[in-house]
Structure formats: C-alpha cells, structure tokens
Amino acid sequence: MKKLTKTLTYDASTDAVGAMLDDAAFREEVLRQQRVVRGSADVDGDVVRIEQVRSAGDVPSFARSFVGDEIVIVQTETWTSATTADLAIAIPGKPGEASGTIGLTEAGGRTTQTVELAVSVRLPLVGGKVESMIVELLGHALDVEHRVGQEWLTR
C-alpha cells in the first residue's frame, strides 16, 4: 500500500472553496484541463461523483496488461460536513483502489485542502510498482485541480 498526502492552499474562505468543490462546472473544467479522454462530474447533495477515462499511452509496459488502452477512474467524495469528506477512488474491473479523506481548514483568510489517500493494488510482483504509478497520476491530477481552483476563485 502506498500513501499520498497532498496539501493545496487557496486565498479564499472555506465557504468559497467548499462551494467551488461542490460545483459540477468546476469539476468538469478540471477534467478538461487534465485532458482526460472523456469524463463527467455529478453533484448530488453531499456526494460528488467524478468519472473519467484516461489514455494509457504513457503507462509503462509492465502495467499495460493490467490497465489496457484506457483507464477508467471513478472518484466519489462523501462530504460528512462542510469541511470534511470521505474519498473513494475505484478502478472498475481492476484490482486497485484508493481511499482516504479530504479536509478543509481556514486560517487568516486562506484555506488549506488536505487530501490523504491510501492506494492499494492487489497484483503479485508488480502491485507496488502500479501503486506508485497511481500515486503519481493522482498527485498530478491534484496539481491540475489546484491550478484550476486558484484561477476559478479569482473570477
């Protein structure tokens, strides 16, 4: 199991960041900026569901048989309060998943979003390598989300 902790800071209140994260248009803009093959975002009350399909063109050969030509990722955030969510990431049909939390804290008019994930891939011999690859992919995706979020909040 590999762990990912990512801290994203915004010059905005937790209310503003929470509203942004609860906006399907923001989530779809993030998907566009991540250059996914296709994707969708749905916000239903306290549950945010993002489905995306990514090209596996950059996937190392050792993992190609595991992922195929495309990688489907389903992210579900269940917000238990205005500042805390449970996060689940599934890769349908594959023996991998990630789970963790999202937390928002405000200090001095700035909000810090902390994402903590544990990634698990149940494959003999190459599971650890695939976990590292997924952690890198998710870290990059959060970097793009952060960049889009900073721009979004200045509008």
CATH number at residue 23: 3.30.530.20
Residue given tokens 């579900």 in the structure block = 76
Cα distance between residue 102 and residue 117, in whole Å: 9
**Quick one: pLDDT at residue 65?**
66
69 within 8 A of 56, measured Cβ to Cβ: yes
**Quick one: pLDDT at residue 63?**
66
Structural domain harbouring 69: 2-153
56: helix, coil or strand?
coil
- Bridge partners of residue 50, in order along the sequence: 41, 75
**Quick one: pLDDT at residue 125?**
67
Walking along the chain (155 residues) 10 residues at a time, the average pLDDT comes out as 96 97 97 93 96 80 70 94 96 87 96 96 73 86 96 94
Cα distance between residue 26 and residue 41, in whole Å: 9
Residues 6+ away with beta carbon under 8 Å from 22: 43, 48, 79
Choose among 119, 77, 117: nearest CA to 94. 119
Residues 6+ away with beta carbon under 8 Å from 9: 110, 111, 112, 113
Q: How many domains does the chain have?
A: 1
Whole-model pTM: value is 0.89
**Quick one: pLDDT at residue 108?**
93
**Quick one: pLDDT at residue 72?**
87
What are the angstrom distances between the C-alpha of 117 and each of 8, 26, 89, 106?
14, 22, 9, 21
CA angle (130 as vertex; 43, 7 as ends), nearest 5: 50
